[in-house]
Chains A and B, each alone.
Chain A
Amino acid sequence: MAIQWSLVLFTAIAGAGAWLFACVGASEFKTFGTKAAWPSSIVALVLLIIGGFASLSHLSHPERVFGALGHPTSGIFTEALLLGLTVLCVIVYMVLLKRETGEKARKVLAVAGIVLTVVFTFACGSSYMMASRATWNSIALPLGYLGTAAASGCSLYLLMCAIGKDDDAMGLAGLAAAGAGAAATVLSLVFGCTSGAAFGSDAPVFWVVVVVCGGAVPAVCGWLARKGGDKTLAYAAIACAGGLAGSIAFRAVMWMVGTAVMNCFGATL
């Protein structure tokens, strides 16, 4: 099948938004990062909603989508449910944040947001684990979805902190971006090796955009940005751009290597 761009953008954009909120949630347990919390929450909410609409744009008959309510075991239903719960979590968190109240409730929402983010970004990939597509049918795929979404979302949080000049939060944000970038590198490589994306005709896209831009760049730039300084904003912007490009490319590569079982035996159906 051809690359389904609306699905690619759905998981890449919503995944970045979810991980951005997870970073905000993590900052709830620290005494810093408060300046970036509000604008980051707004951006996270916008990205989650845009991602949701990207998903709907994939459907040729979105008016029938509520039929999915009758089949709660499907991957699409699971993704929609987790996305909806994450959006709800962000909205309630923002209300409490604006009112400057409910510190304990905010912490509960932060934990819920982090858990939902991990499960949601993993579930987006696990929906594609099908016996019919040997290159997808591995735990490496959802882990790659998780890792690349984390790298883009954490890098975006780093950028939000840099734009808001939230110097106190830069250390943690930089480390988060570096850690997520390193994780994205490893998890992308695992998928690339198990699926063959690292060796076939799609290898240049995989190595340059997915591994280098999506993993190594956020890792290095996050590490360099953690101490602050004049170049912090530039490092954060590069990390964010690389993370998002890598996340999108990872999902596109998945489609590029996703041949059906019969194709493996020489038949082109």
Chain B
Amino acid sequence: MTKHNCIVVNLDKCLGCYGCEVACKMENDVALGEHWSKVILRGPLGEYPNMVKYPLPTMCQQCENSPCVHVCPTGASYRDPDTGIVLIDKEKCIGCKYCMMACPYGVRDWNVATKTVEKCTLCGHLTAQGELPACVKSCAGGARFYGDLDDPDSDVSKELAKYAASDIHTLPDVGNAPATKYIMTSIHGAWKEGE
């Protein structure tokens, strides 16, 4: 059965330190100016005195109905049947950039050197050996979790189980069903994405 591996970010714990972004670049040798993982500082949003500001770490959202896979003309963008992770076979990429157009979140990047599209792989080379993705390992606030959403014993399922459904969010869904979940409770702010 296909797994639903993804990242869960607990924004109540996120420091906004950009450590995940740096760790990703170091681990995956992401070129200068390119990002597979990017922290966006959101806000201030809302009206005084009810204003919020929070860091929003973004990466490939591992959409269940991934538009990048649907539009790819050569099958270079595909879902790994074992891990369920959306990946790119750079040997098949023709550089048409359709997947970059189709991605609602702009989390795919263009590698100038190889002239192919790249993105977060959930550090498949590490997770295949039982390790955690670099961004999860290095998270100073312990805010990032990795695992299979369908496995109740996975880190992501256990973290999500601690919170009410109203505290669990996704980036705006335009039919692509992003798997990545963000936790944010009313104690620390209000989720503003998609409003």
Q: Could you tell me which A residues sit within 8 Å of B by CB distance?
A: 1, 4, 58-62, 64-65, 67-68, 70-71, 74-77, 127-128, 130-134, 258, 260-263, 265-269
Contacts and interface: CB of A to CB of B under 8 A. Distances in A.
B172 A262 contact: yes
Nearest to B45: A266
B100 A1 contact: yes
Question: Top 8 A-B pairs ranked by shortest CB distance?
Answer: A60-B95, A67-B74, A60-B115, A269-B106, A132-B104, A74-B73, A261-B104, A76-B73
A67 B75 CA distance: 8
A134 B102 CA distance: 11
A1 B75 contact: no
B54 to A, nearest CB: 12
Interface string B83-119: 0000000011111111011111111000000011000
Given A64-B74, A67-B74, A128-B101, 7 more contacts: A1-B100, A65-B94, A130-B102, A132-B104, A260-B103, A260-B106, A261-B172
A64 B92 CA distance: 7
Contacts, number: 108
Majority SS of interface residues in chain B? loop
Given A67-B94, A269-B106, A131 B75 contact: no
B78 to A, nearest CB: 10
B58 interface: yes
A76 B96 contact: yes
23 contacts: A1-B97, A4-B97, A58-B97, A59-B94, A59-B96, A60-B115, A61-B94, A62-B94, A65-B94, A67-B73, A71-B74, A75-B71, A76-B73, A128-B101, A131-B104, A132-B103, A134-B174, A260-B103, A262-B106, A263-B106, A265-B193, A267-B56, A269-B38
B156 interface: no
A131 B56 CA distance: 22
B134 interface: no
Contacts of A132: 67, 101-104, 174, 176
A251 to B, nearest CB: 14
A269 B56 CA distance: 11
Interface of B: 38, 40, 42, 45, 56, 58, 67, 71-76, 91-98, 100-107, 115-116, 171-172, 174-176, 192-195
A67 B92 CA distance: 7
Nearest to B95: A60
A11 to B, nearest CB: 14
A64 B102 contact: no
A261 B75 contact: no
Nearest to A264: B172
B72 A71 contact: yes
Contacts of A269: 38, 40, 58, 105-107
Contacts of B193: 265, 267
A168 B146 CA distance: 73
Contacts of A258: 101
Nearest to A72: B73
A76 B75 CA distance: 12
